[in-house]
Amino acid sequence: MRTNRLIIFIGSAIYTMHSSTLKSTQLMLLKSLAIGCFMIILQGLTIPTAPAATATSATAEAHLGPRDLAVIVNNDDPLSVRIGEYYQALRHIPDANMIHVRFRPGSVSMAPSEFRAIDARVDALTPNNVQAYALTWTAPYRVGCMSITTAFAAGFHQAYCASGCQPTQYDPYFDSPSHAPYTNFGIRPTMALAGRDFQDVKRLIDRGVTSDGTFPRGTGYLLSTSDRARNVRASMYPAIVSELGKKLKLRIVRANYIVGKKDVLFYFTGIVRVRALLSNHFLPGAIADHLTSLGGVLIHSSQMSSLKWLEAGATASYGTVVEPCNLPDKFPSPGVVIRYYLKGESLIEAYWKGVAMPGQGIFIGEPLATPFSLPREGNRESPDNTRNGEHMHN
């Protein structure tokens, strides 16, 4: 069922070529060539395991919706079951898109052999129109050397891993206009509905649902910190402001953190720990992350866990689960994320399109949040119609 995933390896040799012997302009040309190769191949091949889009599939809409998303629930984890039920109720996920598996909960990492068995079951139960997944647990967040979200999205492959400062498998969905990643590329972007307890995840889901169609007038804060090793995205900031500054209020802040801001819609930074998070107000649908080695180690991390962003009020975050080195391609590109989000795409689409090499990074948040698009019919149930995690039928 996953034979079409093989296309994501074509062109990777070009994209991940060592840059030590190439000039920057040559490297950029080769990367552009790699992207072009993917598009040419897709136009010329028929992928047998991914059906053509129908009137109800992702390609017929401006963004992914409930029919395009499958929710994976661990029946051996009562918290996962409760999260799945609550999310299905609020987002009107079809029963056919609720996929149930079993594994012992609590471990931070899953063995690749165990994962492959679970992944095979998930793949067999997933309707062909589904373009993305949501997970309903916080741990495990890793499969061997990969993040669990990329493992479910693309399968477990050593090409997504690296020892030391080496590139990993390139994702053809990166900076792509596609609204059907499985149909076009054979991958299903995955995001974890993560939190320390049910109330944390409930608040996260509620924020995502509340954000739909609000067209928030917030600010994107692009922090240039004193941490030279982790501040590698700062060189991108002027170009981002030039491209998107007329569509959204963007501020380049030369500081290690911001304090007392009431309009945070985007917060991108590079530092081990971010201070004063709780002093800021994150608008529903906000995206925030910090470039550091182990932000994706969600539990008992030696650095700040990406969960801290969600606890502070963000609707999504990202972090790496193993040492990635400070290669910018392994982290979200702020300009790409912001551009697609402002176009009205769902949170999972915009965030995934922003990471060129996602193998070592976990995406956490509410995947269907669409602040810059009118809600699709049947896309949500108001959080006001729920109580204590149970759906209230009127």
Predicted local distance difference test score (pLDDT) of residue 163: 83
Considering the domain boundaries, does residue 272 fall inside one?
yes
Considering the domain boundaries, does residue 103 fall inside one?
no
Whether 47 has a pLDDT exceeding 70, the answer reads: no
Considering the domain boundaries, does residue 221 fall inside one?
yes
CB atoms within 10 A of CB 95: 6
**Direct distance between the N- and C-terminal alpha carbons of the chain, in angstroms, rounded to an integer:** 41
Considering the domain boundaries, does residue 286 fall inside one?
yes
Considering the domain boundaries, does residue 176 fall inside one?
no
Between CA 3 and CA 284 the distance in angstroms is 38
Whether 32 has a pLDDT exceeding 70, the answer reads: no
Considering the domain boundaries, does residue 246 fall inside one?
yes
pLDDT, mean of residues 70-75: 98
pTM of structure: 0.84
pLDDT, mean of residues 343-372: 98
What strands lie across the sheet with 249-253, from one edge to the other? Answer: 98-101, 69-74, 132-135, 190-192, 361-365, 316-320, 282-290, 264-269, 219-223, 249-253
Considering the domain boundaries, does residue 234 fall inside one?
yes
pLDDT by residue (tens digit) across 234-262? 999 999 999 999 999 999 999 999 999 99
What domain range includes position 300?
Answer: 216-345
* Count of domains for the chain: 1
What are the C-alpha distances in Å from 200 to residues 131, 203, 274, 362? 26, 5, 20, 18
pLDDT by residue (tens digit) across 285-329? 999 999 999 999 999 889 999 999 999 999 999 999 999 999 999
Considering the domain boundaries, does residue 158 fall inside one?
no
CB atoms within 10 A of CB 43: 7
* pLDDT > 90 fraction of the chain, expressed in percent and rounded: 77
Whether 85 has a pLDDT exceeding 70, the answer reads: yes
Ramachandran angles phi, psi of 65, nearest 5°: -135, -170
Question: Going by DSSP bridges, is the β-strand pair 146-147/142-143 parallel, antiparallel, or unpaired?
Answer: antiparallel
Tell me the two tokens of residue 239: 């170009």
